[in-house]
Amino acid sequence: MRPFAYACSLAAVAFAAEQWINEVDTGLTDYLFSTNYTEGHLPLLKDMRAVMDFDYAARQFLDNQKYSFYRTAAGGEWSYRNNLDVWKKVMLRPRHLHDVSKLNETLPVTFMGYNFSAPIFIAPAARGGYANPERAELNFVDAAAKENILYTAALYASKTIEELAAQKHNETMNGPQVMFQQACLSLLNHVQIYTNVNLSVTWDAMKRAEAAGAKAFVWTIDAPGDSTRHRAARYDTTNANAVTSALTWDLYDEIKSRTSLPVIPKGIVTVEDALLAVEKGAPAIYLSNHGGRQVEYSPSPLEVAYEIYRNAPQVFQQVEVMADSGVRYGTDVVKLLALGVKMVGLGRPFMYANCYGTEGVEKLIQILKTEIVHDAAQAGVTDLKKVPRNLVRLPTQFDTVLKY
Ligand SMILES: Cc1cc2nc3c(=O)[nH]c(=O)nc-3n(C[C@H](O)[C@H](O)[C@H](O)COP(=O)(O)O)c2cc1C
Ligand SMILES: *[C@@H]1O[C@H](CO)[C@@H](O)[C@H](O)[C@H]1NC(C)=O
Ligand SMILES: *[C@@H]1O[C@H](CO)[C@@H](O)[C@H](O)[C@H]1NC(C)=O
Ligand SMILES: *[C@@H]1O[C@H](CO)[C@@H](O)[C@H](O)[C@H]1NC(C)=O
Ligand SMILES: *[C@@H]1O[C@H](CO)[C@@H](O)[C@H](O)[C@H]1NC(C)=O
Ligand SMILES: *[C@@H]1O[C@H](CO)[C@@H](O)[C@H](O)[C@H]1NC(C)=O
């Protein structure tokens, strides 16, 4: 009994002292209210200094229904909160007296054979039109081209596959802009909701994306059913893919057989599924808990990357690994790179930044690039392509060595 009671009282103290809040206080509101800013308006873009600032800005600017769709997560939002909180459990082991003067030249990355200016990307997220009704995701295409990063368009984007393709820029680090396309089981005709998914809709969308010049598919594997999202449900804002379906590895094989493009499974959260994906010939894998929006209590990419690292480290050599969910600071990116992740994505922050249009999206990318270089330099990293594993100090509760 004693250890249990002891643990409980400790937990009680911790809860009393530390109430969870969405944005850590870094002085944004103190600053804004010292200017002529009034609540309920979009703050000036020049006053956005951190990734999380864009969440505050979007909450002021968007109506509750729209903000809630972007912000919502599953169940009690424990996974969502864990995605944001988990980083603080992992201290760095900064090494000093390293020459970091050439670190910024190591920011660019080659992923799936394409060159990008940084190991960050815009994750696929539906309904960009909520933040910017006129241009929606066209702002993502423009900003990604200008900053030479990867944009992966969502199947349920507000703009069509063809509209997004027509916006692509011709002069990027890869010549014509490289974009990936997210796909999933589609159920566009909600009248059919009780039957099952309509695969011909999916094949059709994939054909269109291929014709429009997409370079890879990101296949969402973590949405086999509808999700429990109270924050959005209050406004009757529902999901596009709201059906319990036969989403299986056999279907993955069929998808691969229907396209010549690489198909990257998105939503891997266990070492078992990472190994299965490798076995199935996936060219890359995408660690994600969908920003905590699908199954509640799904782990963060940091925990997943560590599980893979501890149980099957070869995976990081066999396939290229991308990851998202809860990434908000340069140090978050550096920690994932240390574990072997190659490309790190963000979802909500880009949706929020789009309230400012292309300029806001660009500024978010610039903030991230600057933080990655500054934080890695401070930690004594000399090459972002070779961030040492022992840069991160992982706590014992992360140590899931499995017998699979
Ligand atoms: C508004 C919104 C819509 C999303 N729509 C999709 C989608 O259609 N398909 C998909 O695979 N993931 C979707 N996602 C998940 C993102 O691709 C990504 O995994 C997630 O946002 C990462 O977590 P973060 O928001 O904490 O960065 C969506 C996320 C948000 C916030
Ligand atoms: C505050 O005043 C400045 C000029 O000093 C102006 O440029 C800015 O638009 C104002 N901001 C708001 C939110 O009213
Ligand atoms: C890296 O930083 C140095 C010194 O600040 C600067 O001269 C150089 O242009 C930067 N290189 C890149 C690729 O940003
Ligand atoms: C890009 O190149 C294609 C084909 O060469 C051309 O049709 C298109 O107009 C160009 N787009 C822009 C924005 O210049
Ligand atoms: C990517 O960059 C490398 C040099 O780092 C270069 O050799 C290669 O041609 C580039 N690839 C593309 C597609 O531009
Ligand atoms: C499936 O989608 C296709 C293309 O939109 C449509 O022609 C067909 O009628 C749909 N089938 C069912 C059973 O809903």
Tens of pLDDT, residues 162-219: 999 999 999 999 999 999 999 987 654 433 333 356 788 888 899 999 999 999 999 9
- How far apart are the CA of 115 and the centre of ligand 5, in A? 6
| 322 & 202 share domain | yes
Closest CA to 352 of 192, 46, 131: 131
Q: Whose CA is nearest to atom 7 of ligand 5?
A: 115
| Burial (0-12, 13-18, 19+ Cβ within 10 Å), 389 | exposed
The finding on whether 198 has its CB within 6 A of some atom of ligand 6 is yes
At residue 241, the pLDDT reads 52
- Alpha carbon of residue 303 to chain centroid: 15
| Structural domain for 46, as ranges | 21-55
| 198 & 347 share domain | yes
* CATH number assigned to the domain comprising residue 394: 3.20.20.70
Counting from 1 in the atom list of ligand 3, the atom nearest the Cα of 107 is 13
- Establish if 97 belongs to a structural domain: no
Choose which residue among 109, 110, 114 to substitute to test ligand 5 binding: the one with the highest number of ligand atoms within 8 A of its C-beta: 110
- How far apart are the CA of 200 and the centre of ligand 6, in A? 7
Report the distance separating Cα 213 and Cα 53, nearest Å.
34
| 208 & 347 share domain | yes
At residue 184, the pLDDT reads 84
- Establish if 28 belongs to a structural domain: yes
Give whole-number Cα distances, 24 to 9, 55, 197, 371, in Å: 25, 11, 41, 17
DSSP state of 266: E
Give whole-number Cα distances, 288 to 182, 304, 306, in Å: 14, 8, 13
At residue 82, the pLDDT reads 97
The finding on whether 199 has its CB within 6 A of some atom of ligand 6 is no
- How far apart are the CA of 385 and the centre of ligand 3, in A? 17
At 227, list the tokens: 């999700």
Closest CA to 156 of 132, 177, 136: 136
At residue 242, the pLDDT reads 54
The finding on whether 115 has its CB within 6 A of some atom of ligand 5 is yes
Interstrand relation of 320-324 and 179-183 (parallel, antiparallel or unpaired) = unpaired
Report the distance separating Cα 227 and Cα 295, nearest Å.
7
Contact 331, 92 (CB under 8 A): yes
At residue 201, the pLDDT reads 81
DSSP state of 43: P
Residues 6+ apart with CB under 8 A from 6: none
φ and ψ at 112, to 5 degrees? 55, 30
Per DSSP (E only), the strands in 66-204 are 91-92, 109-111, 114-116, 120-122, 150-153, 179-183
What is the widest separation between alpha-carbon atoms in the chain? 67
Q: Whose CA is nearest to atom 10 of ligand 2?
A: 36
Counting from 1 in the atom list of ligand 2, the atom nearest the Cα of 35 is 1
| 226 & 300 share domain | yes
- Establish if 83 belongs to a structural domain: no
| 169 & 308 share domain | yes
At residue 20, the pLDDT reads 82
| 315 & 195 share domain | yes
At residue 124, the pLDDT reads 97
At 288, list the tokens: 């994600």
At residue 239, the pLDDT reads 66
- How far apart are the CA of 171 and the centre of ligand 4, in A? 10
| 163 & 291 share domain | yes
At residue 238, the pLDDT reads 72
At residue 168, the pLDDT reads 98
Only one residue has tokens 């009757």, namely: 236
Q: How many domains does the chain have?
A: 2
Stretches in the chain below the pLDDT threshold 70:
1-18, 186-197, 239-244, 403-404
Contact 262, 112 (CB under 8 A): yes
- Establish if 16 belongs to a structural domain: no
Report the distance separating Cα 39 and Cα 61, nearest Å.
9
